[in-house]
Chain A
Amino acid sequence: MGAFTMGMLRLLVLALVMFLGGSALAQSPTYGVGRTPTAEEIRAWDISIGPTGEELPQGRGTAEEGAQVYLRQGCAGCHGREGEGGRAPRRGPRLVKVEPGPDVDPWAAARILPYRSPYATTVWDYINRGMPLNREGTLTADQVYALTAFLLYKNEVIAEDLVLDAQSLPKVEMPNRDGWEPLPEWKPGTPRLPGYPY
């Protein structure tokens, strides 16, 4: 009788351990390899600015300040004094649309990133990670805000006196906000486009 109870108990304990272990497994790492980065490390590394702008750093800038940064940082060398694009061999793309007026179709206009991009955050992200050529990552947050303001103003997207910062930048309504086609849902093992045999 006593032995039977002990056996039952052992089984119960074993079952309990397996149950707890199993449920814990679903929430804890399998291998336990890797280190937890600090919040500060993540902030320093994370330069992906999404459409909500939640990752934007502190700082501010206006179009007027941006015009100064544009000249001092040598942007004109590749993109032209007025953002009209550079000449060979420094053929940076055009940054300001040709057609006047605020209602120019972003797809009819040339491929101008600070006009065609659906989000102002993309302009900020692009300048911050990709410019200036071979000196990437050297601009301060203020300079990136200012350059973004300058280019959006030149493209008649924002007013000259708008101060861009982490709060106002994501609120800028780009003319192409809803004018692009999001990528469709992707599923493994399926053709790339339903109804397209090729």
Chain B
Amino acid sequence: MGSKRPDRRRFLKGGAALAGGLTLGAVEPAFGQTPAPAKFIKGDEEMIAYGERSRFVTSARIAHPPGGRESPDAFGLVFHVAAPLQDSVGMITPSSLHFVGTTRGSFIPDIDPQEHRLMIHGMVDRPLTFTMEDLKRLPSVTRPHFIECAGNSSNPNRKTVQETHGMTSCAEWTGVLLSVLLKEAGVKGGASWVVAEGTENVKGASSFPLAKAMDDCVVAYGMNGEAVRPQNGFPLRLLVPGFEGIFNTKYLRRIKVVDRYYMNYNDYGHLRRDPVRAALGYQIGPKSVITFPSGEQQLPGRGFYEVSGLAWSGGGTISRVEVSTDAGRNWMDAEIQGTAHRMAHTRFRLHWNWDGQETELLSRCTDEVGQVQPSRAQVAEHWNEPPDPSYRVPGLNNAIQPWRVASDGSVHNGDA
């Protein structure tokens, strides 16, 4: 079985060469010559059935944090892996490259969808159990949503955008609104929270407000036009749009409606003494990052470049993205790709002519409720803290990421 995919093996061994880079010294037009005969990919059955990317494309996920434990480890446990945002185009992360977060190292459950059940119970008039077939009969929605791990935080030691920001991804999710299932079960008066639980070994469980459950949560069986991938929660995962990644329960098996914060497994991680850090522990703030040019990429020379990146917010849609190409002295409005979606990655672009001088590229975004992405210094100032490098932004770190472009065209983490 292992010998069926020689191509994939080869390019994974080849290392993480930068795909989609700039090809300089373009091929000379060869007038008067017949074009060389095209080479062919000799596809096998598997490739015809499911497709495969070019062997020249080597973009791959890496362990997170950088230098952390490899996945799978010797026991088959999977740890965090980060998405290669430096190679991303558009707003959707391919399912194969979507970041993976695990509560702690865990085995990926191998769930037969025929056997899988979702139970809704607790403070409801009618407890209900749904099969996957049941769920697919119900009215569905399809929406792009990002998921971001609370630990997705840049620091001066991280070099590439995959290392600084790779624990966020955006997929198009299809499923049933959780509100539809809760209404079907009939939520009782006095209920105020729900607890969501998955089927994996460590049955991770998170409490979140009933108001959120009734607003826009999706019980998703589809991801990017096909079934949710096992690493992302097959056959069923919960989407809690804009909340920290851990709320988006994978392998969803149970929703319990309750009248108080339940302080179950994952909730303990949100235990805070400080009201500010407690309040900032669930909805994600406005955040953006330039993915090209970004850390460790190389500009071949002065001239025209399209600066491009991603912006997202737990507060709703992205309404504005500004880019500075002169280390924050001037800011220009970037073009937003198409229509921005609620709690979804939003691609932005800006035309830039690089004069070959050392400079710094930055981006900051504003969301529909008026929240603006801050610099780390602004956050520190707001809370009357000294803005030294050890200052930790409360909640998920949404500080502006500077990329320093050296005069030789090399790009580096501006915080380093």
Q: Are A183 and B125 in contact (CB under 8 A)?
A: no
Query: For B372, what are the chain A residues with a Cβ–Cβ distance below 8 Å?
Result: 197-198
Q: How far is the CB of A113 from chain B (nearest CB, A)?
A: 6
Query: For A129, what are the chain B residues with a Cβ–Cβ distance below 8 Å?
Result: 202-203, 205, 264-265
Interface check A103, CB cutoff 8 A? no
Query: For A191, what are the chain B residues with a Cβ–Cβ distance below 8 Å?
Result: 315, 369-371
Task: Mark interface residues in A161-181 (1 if CB within 8 Å of B CB, else 0).
Answer: 000000000000000000111
Q: Are A34 and B285 in contact (CB under 8 A)?
A: no
Interface check B195, CB cutoff 8 A? yes
Q: Are B370 and A196 in contact (CB under 8 A)?
A: no
Query: For B378, what are the chain A residues with a Cβ–Cβ distance below 8 Å?
Result: 198
Q: Which of A32-52 contact B (CB under 8 A)?
A: 33-37, 41-42, 45-51
Q: How far is the CB of A159 from chain B (nearest CB, A)?
A: 24
Cα distance A28–B185 in the bound complex, in angstroms:
9
Interface check A122, CB cutoff 8 A? yes
Cα distance A47–B203 in the bound complex, in angstroms:
9
Query: For A4, what are the chain B residues with a Cβ–Cβ distance below 8 Å?
Result: none
Cα distance A51–B262 in the bound complex, in angstroms:
6
Q: Are B201 and A113 in contact (CB under 8 A)?
A: no
Cα distance A17–B126 in the bound complex, in angstroms:
24
Task: Mark interface residues in B157-199 (1 if CB within 8 Å of A CB, else 0).
Answer: 0000000000000000000000011011110000000010100
| Known contacts A33-B130, A37-B119; A184 and B278 CB within 8 A of each other | yes
Query: For A107, what are the chain B residues with a Cβ–Cβ distance below 8 Å?
Result: 273
Q: Are B274 and A181 in contact (CB under 8 A)?
A: yes
Interface check B410, CB cutoff 8 A? no
Contact of A50 among B216, B258, B276, B281 (CB under 8 A): B258
Cα distance A190–B201 in the bound complex, in angstroms:
36
Contact of A198 among B212, B368, B398 (CB under 8 A): B398
Q: Are B184 and A48 in contact (CB under 8 A)?
A: no
Query: For B211, what are the chain A residues with a Cβ–Cβ distance below 8 Å?
Result: 185-188
Interface check B316, CB cutoff 8 A? yes
Query: For A49, what are the chain B residues with a Cβ–Cβ distance below 8 Å?
Result: 264
Q: How far is the CB of A182 from chain B (nearest CB, A)?
A: 6
Cα distance A130–B134 in the bound complex, in angstroms:
30
- A contact patch SS: loop
Query: For A189, what are the chain B residues with a Cβ–Cβ distance below 8 Å?
Result: 315-316, 368-369
Q: How many residues of A contact B (CB 8 A)?
A: 51
| Known contacts A45-B119, A51-B260, A198-B285; A34 and B273 CB within 8 A of each other | no
Interface check A192, CB cutoff 8 A? yes
Contact of B268 among A47, A122, A197, A198 (CB under 8 A): A122
Q: How many residues of B contact A (CB 8 A)?
A: 76
Interface check B416, CB cutoff 8 A? no
Query: Quick one: which of B263, B276, B279, B373 has the most chain A CB within 10 A?
Result: B263
Interface check B52, CB cutoff 8 A? no
Interface check A29, CB cutoff 8 A? yes
Q: Which of B27-51 contact A (CB under 8 A)?
A: none
Q: Are B371 and A119 in contact (CB under 8 A)?
A: no
Interface check B237, CB cutoff 8 A? no
Nearest A-chain residue to B212, judged by Cβ: A186
| Known contacts A42-B127, A117-B271, A118-B271; A48 and B195 CB within 8 A of each other | yes
Nearest A-chain residue to B258, judged by Cβ: A50
Cα distance A42–B117 in the bound complex, in angstroms:
12
Q: Are A34 and B184 in contact (CB under 8 A)?
A: yes
Contact of A181 among B120, B126, B275 (CB under 8 A): B275
Query: For B368, what are the chain A residues with a Cβ–Cβ distance below 8 Å?
Result: 189
Task: Mark interface residues in B196-220 (1 if CB within 8 Å of A CB, else 0).
Answer: 0100011101001101100110000
Query: For B279, what are the chain A residues with a Cβ–Cβ distance below 8 Å?
Result: 181, 183-184, 192-193
Contact of A179 among B107, B205, B208, B273 (CB under 8 A): B273
Interface check B94, CB cutoff 8 A? no
Query: For B253, what are the chain A residues with a Cβ–Cβ distance below 8 Å?
Result: 45
Nearest A-chain residue to B214, judged by Cβ: A188
| Known contacts A181-B274, A189-B316, A191-B371; A37 and B258 CB within 8 A of each other | no
Contact of A192 among B180, B197, B315, B373 (CB under 8 A): B315
Interface check B329, CB cutoff 8 A? no
Contact of B374 among A117, A126, A198 (CB under 8 A): A198
Nearest A-chain residue to B121, judged by Cβ: A42
Q: How far is the CB of B322 from chain A (nearest CB, A)?
A: 15
Cα distance A131–B379 in the bound complex, in angstroms:
39
Q: Are B263 and A27 in contact (CB under 8 A)?
A: no
Nearest A-chain residue to B276, judged by Cβ: A193
Q: How far is the CB of B57 from chain A (nearest CB, A)?
A: 35
Q: Are A33 and B134 in contact (CB under 8 A)?
A: yes
Q: How far is the CB of B347 from chain A (nearest CB, A)?
A: 22
Q: Are B263 and A121 in contact (CB under 8 A)?
A: yes
Given contacts A33-B130, A129-B203, 5 further A-B contacts (CB under 8 A): A49-B264, A50-B262, A113-B268, A192-B279, A193-B276
Closest 6 CB pairs of A and B: A181-B278, A34-B128, A192-B283, A198-B374, A186-B209, A181-B275
B residues at A contact (CB < 8 Å): 75, 107, 119-121, 125-130, 134, 137-138, 180-181, 183-186, 195, 197, 201-203, 205, 208-209, 211-212, 215-216, 253-254, 256, 258, 260-265, 267-268, 270-286, 314-316, 368-374, 378-379, 382, 395, 398
